[in-house]
Structure 1
């Protein structure tokens, strides 16, 4: 799995993660930042393969792939729609409050301080904290650097740089949030002017 992700991410020169997101009423969550993912109770909510690592959720196209509890207690109901195509409906209090769709690219969501990345392989991860207000240059969890610019109302772009300053991916949050699985580091860029990452 690690080798495949390394190849997948290394090949990303530009990634525009256009998540298909629809939000209805969503409860505000805590947005406190802490020193480390372990200290802040970071939860990587993913389907477990039993080998200690996260793996994609396996299912036939169009069928339910599984349900995962997210860090705020809501549930992500994941369906596989095709190869590298998954949808997650986030359910809280019995109602669908948001929908993420990853179709040949990862998707991300800023749900009022809970950050969610749905990978195009069906993995889903959620966390709180780790926020940086944009624009600017920010050091992110996992050793990445983000250079973020504001392009317009609810439109931000982030260039993700490796340790040597090379651009390895671009997130474009234009009227909808964007997300990325960067080899086990998860990044969300929101239309409200926040970038957050965790490992």
Structure 2
């Protein structure tokens, strides 16, 4: 009477088929060359696993525990934070896999390499300055053009004699400026206040 397959043998069979063992912690997308010689279940069952090394992967969190199971045959268990994500198998040809942007390769000599996909930075959306008003300031000759960019982001260009002196930026907090005793305050709601120093 044939003995039933053990759970380990069943997992190894699944791993050989897909070149990846899957644990409850997660799953990998794995890729093996179509021409690779895949070991049989019997070969895996008889192979003696010998620990070789642990390799830190490119995300600086995951680790690959590498075991030799025969000539040109290796396994690499992928771990992160005490959880095993899966196992790669190779015999004679490299095996590749990726998980959440972390790519790694197990080679027939037991070497492991890895790299991380870098997210492309999103292009900053241009914010339109919308003129909401022009104000004459407390000295009677200086003016300010007030622009709205977002709900709590306003800017004020301050002009004297037709020349721009400064731009106040109130982005979530008030901005203040001063020129020859003229003080200007721009608040994040777009309100502008100004005053002059009293002559002594």
Establish whether TM, by shorter chain, passes 0.5: no
Task: Name the TM-score class by shorter chain.
Answer: 0.3 to 0.5
Q: Which has the higher contact order (CA 8 A, sep 6+)?
A: 1
Higher strand share: 2
Higher helix share: 2
Length-normalised TM-score, structure 2: 0.37
Instruction: Answer with 1 or 2: which has the greater Rg.
Output: 2
